[in-house]
């Protein structure tokens, strides 16, 4: 099973190269209806921790759920498949319909993962219905993909595992999609778009302002992951990142062109370690 990078306890190109979480009290007061008996909650994924019960009024779109008190939730840790396959026919409609089915006739349990609403006024949340994590179900059926940024998200390892299962089985939209190899020829057409790719990190270099994970010997042409110095602590710090040299990893995010395909990574949840270093990589100075 792929291992996501995690920070230690308590941790919340040259030219180019030089240049846990608890529910919110006010929200709980508004949406809690009754305290669920412990037996009724036993089927919930343990990774969710303490949730609150709410009443879902309407599925607005592929990402958004409106509660009966008017509050808006955004599914956390997943995105519709159109992020990876922009031309996937009926992808968003299928997610919305499936989400509606999953929530029909049940009182979902909610775990807020932030008290800060997005620009649309939605609070990011993980949602359980019928004893299952909704986000995990959508990904396992090949209707959505895993993607999250920021601080570690509860249950995200489960969501990634569900995606891997769907991909291996060519389930849902994975019948049309695939994970690219970390080569310029394979990723050139994906510049400016979201992508998922795999490859072996040839070298890892911690510069003053940036860490670079290179997948080829010509950093000015090959695929590179870029991690800003301010984000290194979330990955466990410079030593942990240096040890990625020689590891095969899977990464996801929005690809840029900077003398070759460049993926800016801001969160450990964007990188999975598929196999650890075996001595083939090198730590660049």
pLDDT in tens, 177-208: 999 999 999 999 999 999 999 999 999 999 99
Q: Are residues 123 and 222 located together in one domain of the fold?
A: no
274, pLDDT greater than 60 = yes
Same structural domain, 35 and 149? yes
Q: Which residue has the higher pLDDT, 177 or 36?
A: 177
One domain, residues 209 and 166: no
- Out of 45-49, 51-55, 138-142, give the one with best mean pLDDT: 138-142
Report if residue 225 sits inside a domain.
Answer: yes
Q: Summarize pLDDT for 203-257 with one digit per residue, the tens.
A: 999 999 999 999 998 767 899 999 999 999 999 999 999 999 999 999 999 999 9
Burial class (CB in 10 A: 0-12, 13-18, 19+), 20: exposed
Q: What is the pLDDT of residue 92?
A: 92
Residue among 95, 77, 251 at smallest CA distance from 173: 95
pLDDT beyond 60 at 6: no
Provide the pLDDT for residue 18: 38
Same domain as 192, residue 235: yes
- Looking at residue 69, its pLDDT comes to 85
Residues 240 and 129 in one domain: no
Q: How is residue 82 annotated by DSSP?
A: G
Worst-scoring range by mean pLDDT, 19-23, 68-72, 112-116?
Answer: 19-23
pLDDT > 90? residue 42: no
Closest CA to 124 of 113, 138, 135, 136: 113
Instruction: Output the domain CATH number for residue 250.
Output: 2.40.50.140
Q: Which of 125, 17, 145 minimizes the C-alpha distance to 65?
A: 125
Q: Is residue 79 in some structural domain?
A: yes
Domain range for residue 118?
Answer: 25-175
Q: pLDDT band for 20, please (50, 70, 90 cuts).
A: very low
Are 171 and 187 in a shared domain?
no
pLDDT at 9: 41
Task: Please indicate, yes or no, if residue 8 is contained in any of the structural domains.
Answer: no
Chain mean pLDDT for the chain: 84
Q: What are the tens digits of pLDDT across the range 83-100?
A: 999 988 899 999 999 999
16 pLDDT band, cuts 50/70/90, is very low
Q: Which of 130, 153, 175 is the last residue of a domain?
A: 175
The answer to whether position 18 is within a domain reads: no
Q: Is the CB of residue 102 less than 8 Å from the CB of residue 109?
A: no
pLDDT band at 41 (very low <50, low <70, confident <90, very high): very low
pLDDT of res. 279: 53
> Do 119 and 242 belong together in one domain?
no
pLDDT digits (tens, 9 = 90+) for 122-150: 999 999 998 899 999 999 999 999 999 88
Lowest mean pLDDT among 21-35, 131-145, 148-162: 21-35
Average pLDDT over residues 2-24: 43
**Contact call for residues 42 and 149 (beta carbons, < 8 A):** no
Give the pLDDT band of residue 11 (cuts 50, 70, 90).
Answer: very low
Q: How far is CA 89 from CA 31, 50, 54, in A?
A: 36, 37, 32
Q: Is residue 12 part of a domain?
A: no
Last residue of a domain, one of 160, 175, 190: 175
The CA dihedral of 91, 157, 153, 68, to the nearest 10 degrees, is 50
Identify whether residues 55 and 136 lie together within a single domain.
yes
Same domain, 171 and 197: no
Total structural domains within the chain: 2
Q: Count CB atoms within 10 A of the CB of residue 124.
A: 22
The domain that holds 70 is classified in CATH as 2.40.50.90
Q: Name which of 203, 200, 218, 199 is nearest 282 in CA terms.
A: 203
Q: Is residue 212 within 8 Å of 219, Cβ to Cβ?
A: yes
Asked whether residue 15 is assigned to any structural domain, the reply reads no
Residues 31 and 171 grouped into a single domain = yes
pLDDT of 38 over the 60 cut: no
> 176 phi and psi, to 5 degrees?
-110, -20
- Do 48 and 125 fall within a single domain? yes
In terms of Cβ atoms closer than 10 Å to its own Cβ (0-12, 13-18, 19+), residue 129 is buried
Number of H helices and E strands in the chain, helices first, is: 7, 20
Q: How confident is the model at residue 50 (pLDDT cuts 50, 70, 90)?
A: confident
Given 145, 175, 205, the domain boundary residue is 175
Query: What pLDDT band is residue 61 in, cutting at 50, 70 and 90?
Result: very high
Q: Are residues 265 and 245 in the same domain?
A: yes
3-state SS class at 274? strand
The dihedral region occupied by 77, where left means phi > 0, alpha psi between -120 and 50, and beta the remainder, is left
Has residue 5 been placed in a domain?
no
């Amino acid at each position: 099973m792929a291992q996501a990078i995690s920070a230690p306890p308590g941790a919340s190109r040259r030219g180019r190269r030089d240049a846990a979480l608890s529910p919110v009290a006010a929200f709980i007061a508004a949406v809690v209806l009754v305290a669920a008996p412990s037996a009724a909650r036993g089927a919930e994924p343990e990774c969710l921790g303490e949730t609150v019960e709410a009443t879902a009024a309407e599925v607005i779109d592929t990402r958004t759920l409106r509660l009966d008190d008017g509050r808006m939730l955004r599914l956390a840790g997943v995105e519709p498949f159109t992020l990876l396959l922009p031309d996937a026919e009926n992808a968003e409609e299928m997610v919305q319909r499936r989400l509606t089915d999953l929530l029909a006739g049940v009182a979902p349990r909610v775990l807020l993962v932030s008290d800060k609403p997005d620009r649309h006024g939605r609070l990011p949340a993980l949602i359980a219905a019928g004893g299952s994590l909704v986000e995990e179900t959508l990904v396992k059926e090949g209707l959505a993909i895993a993607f999250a940024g920021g601080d570690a998200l509860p249950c995200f390892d489960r969501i990634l595992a569900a995606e891997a299962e769907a991909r291996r089985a060519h389930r849902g939209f994975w019948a049309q999609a695939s994970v690219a190899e970390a080569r310029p020829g394979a990723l050139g057409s994906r510049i400016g778009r979201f992508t998922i790719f795999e490859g072996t990190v040839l070298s890892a270099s911690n510069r003053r302002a940036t860490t670079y994970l290179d997948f080829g010997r010509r950093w000015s042409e090959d695929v590179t992951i870029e991690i800003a110095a301010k984000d290194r602590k979330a990955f466990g710090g410079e030593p942990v990142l240096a040890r990625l040299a020689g590891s095969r990893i899977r990464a996801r995010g929005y690809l840029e062109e900077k003398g070759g395909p460049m993926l800016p990574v801001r969160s450990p949840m964007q990188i999975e370690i598929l196999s650890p270093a075996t001595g083939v990589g090198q730590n660049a100075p």
